[in-house]
Amino acid sequence: MRDPLTLSLSGKRSNLLNDLELIEQELKSEVHPTILDLYNIALVVYVWDLQTYRTGVGPRYSSILMSVSDKPKWDNAKSHLEATLRFLTGDTFNFHFVQGKAPRAEFEFQEKSENCVALLSGGLDSLAGVKWMMDGALKPVLVSHPGMGLISDAQTRLVTSLRTIAGEQLPWHQIRATAKPGRELASKEYTQFSRSFLYLTLGAIFALHLGVEQEFAFENGVLGLNIPLTQSRIYSNTRTAHPQFLAMYQGLLNLLFDRSVIVENPFMVMTKGEVVKLLNSDGFRDLIKTTISCPNVTRLRWKGVQVGRTRHCGVCFPCVVRRAAVHYSDLWNYDASYETDITSEYADIPEEGRRMVFEMTDFGRQIKRLASVDEALYEFPQLYTGEIVDPRELFDMVKRHVVQFEDFLVQRCHGSLSRSLRLT
C-alpha cells in the first residue's frame, strides 16, 4: 500500500500553487470561503489525478480528507460531488470533510454584469468560441489554466491578438493551479481526466464573484459527446464538455450557492469542421497556427522536435480530426505544422497514424449503416443524454462528421491511403 498523498497550500509542507493572491487581486475582493473550498477540492483532485497511474481500464479509488468552511453544506453536496467526478473521470471518490474556519456570512450571488465567462484553452474550439461570442455581441471574461509552458505561451499570444481584433480591453485571467515544481509531485499520469472540473471551477470563481450568469466551455460535439471513434479512444476518451457532465457541474453550483450559473457548450451539435469554419474571417485565420490541439507536445520535445515551430505530432486523434476540420473550413494554408504528415503516401505514414485513420474510417462505415436514430442509440448509447440534447441532433452531427472526414481523406490525402481504405 502506498503512503497517503499529503497536499497542502500553506505552511512548511506547502506543495500546491493556486494563484489565490492573483485571483483576489483581479477580483478586488477575497474569494468567499465556500467558493475557495470548491477551488481547493478541484485542485486536490487534479493533482491526485496526475499522481496516480491508471492501470488497465478499471477505476482508481481515492479517499480524500480535507477541511472545509461549512461542513453541513459540503456533506449535503458530497454524493453529487462524488457522482460528478465519477462520471467525468471514471474513478471512485470518497470525501471526508472536517469543519474548518467558518465563513462570516453566507455567499449571496448578486447579478452585476451582462458579461459572460468563457474558458480559453489555447485550442481551436475555444478560439472559435471567442469569434462566436463577438458575433453575438457578447462581452466575455476569458479564463485560462496554462498547464505546460507551451500552452501558456499560446494563450498569451492569442489574447494579445484578440485584444487587437476586439479594439478594446478584453478581460483575461490566466490562473496557475497545480503542484509546486519539484520532484516530489512530478506528474506520473498523462490523461488528466479531471482537468475540466478544475477549469470549470476557475471560471465559476469569476462568474460567481463578478455576478455573471453564463459560463461557456467550447468543445465540438464529436469530442464533447465521448463516442469511442477508435479503439484507443475507448480507454482515453475524456468527457471534458459532455452535456451530462456540464449539467452535473451546474447542479453542484446550485447545491452550494442556491443560484444557477448556467454552464453551457454552444458547440455541442457542431462538428469540428463547422466550429473551425467560424475562424474563416479576417484577423482570425492567422491565429490558427498559434493554437495547440495535440496532447503529445511534451513527447515531441523528448524526441528532439523543435516545438517552438512544430507542436503537433500529426498522428494522434486530435491531430487527425484537426486536419480534417481545417480542410472542411477552407483554411488548409493557415494551419500549423505537423511532425508527421498524415496526407503523405501510405508507406510513409507510421503504424500509429495508419491505425488511427483505419479505425476512424471503420467508425464512419458503422454510422452509415444505421438507418435511424433508434438504431444509432442501440449501437452508440452515448447519443442519449437524457433531456439535455435531442439525440436526433447528435446523430445528424455525427453523420456530418463522417462525411466531412471522408471528404478530407479523398480530397487531401495521398491516393494510396484512400485506396487502402477502399474509399476510391
Separation CA 160–CA 192 (nearest Å)? 27
The predicted pLDDT at position 187 comes to 72
| Pair (288, 319) in one structural domain | no
The 10s digit of each residue's pLDDT in 153-185 is 999 999 999 999 987 789 999 999 998 887 577
| Pair (233, 298) in one structural domain | no
Quote the pTM value. Answer: 0.94
Provide the residue range defining the domain that includes 50: 1-292
Separation CA 274–CA 326 (nearest Å)? 9
Q: What is the CATH classification number for the domain harbouring 102?
A: 3.40.50.620
Across the chain, what does the average pLDDT equal? 91
**Mean pLDDT, rounded, for 323-331:** 98
**Angle at alpha carbon of residue 21, lines to 20 and 23, rounded to 5°:** 60
What DSSP state is assigned to residue 314?
S
Burial class (CB in 10 A: 0-12, 13-18, 19+), 303: exposed
| Pair (328, 364) in one structural domain | yes
The residue ranking higher by pLDDT, 308 or 35, is 35
| Pair (384, 259) in one structural domain | no
| Pair (124, 100) in one structural domain | yes
Query: How do beta strands 140-144 and 262-264 pair?
Result: unpaired
The predicted pLDDT at position 233 comes to 46
What's the total number of domains in the chain? 2
Q: 37-41, 43-47, 150-154: which has the minimum mean pLDDT? A: 150-154
- C-alpha distances (whole Å) from 246 to each of 77, 92, 192, 227, 237 are 16, 19, 17, 16, 16
| Pair (285, 378) in one structural domain | no
The predicted pLDDT at position 93 comes to 96
Nearest Cα to Cα of residue 75 among 92, 59, 60, 94: 94
**Mean pLDDT, rounded, for 71-84:** 97
Q: Over 50: is that where the pLDDT of 235 sits?
A: no
Q: How confident is the model at residue 73 (pLDDT cuts 50, 70, 90)?
A: very high
The 10s digit of each residue's pLDDT in 271-305 is 999 999 999 999 999 999 999 999 888 778 778 88
Cβ–Cβ < 8 Å for 163, 138: no
Final residue before a domain boundary, out of 271, 292, 313: 292
What one-character-per-residue DSSP string does 329-356 give?
TT-GGGS-B-SS-TTS-GGGS-HHHHHH
The residue ranking higher by pLDDT, 386 or 287, is 287
The residue ranking higher by pLDDT, 411 or 13, is 411
The 10s digit of each residue's pLDDT in 105-159 is 999 888 888 789 999 999 999 999 999 999 999 999 999 999 767 899 999 999 9
Separation CA 234–CA 153 (nearest Å)? 31
Q: Over 80: is that where the pLDDT of 56 sits?
A: no
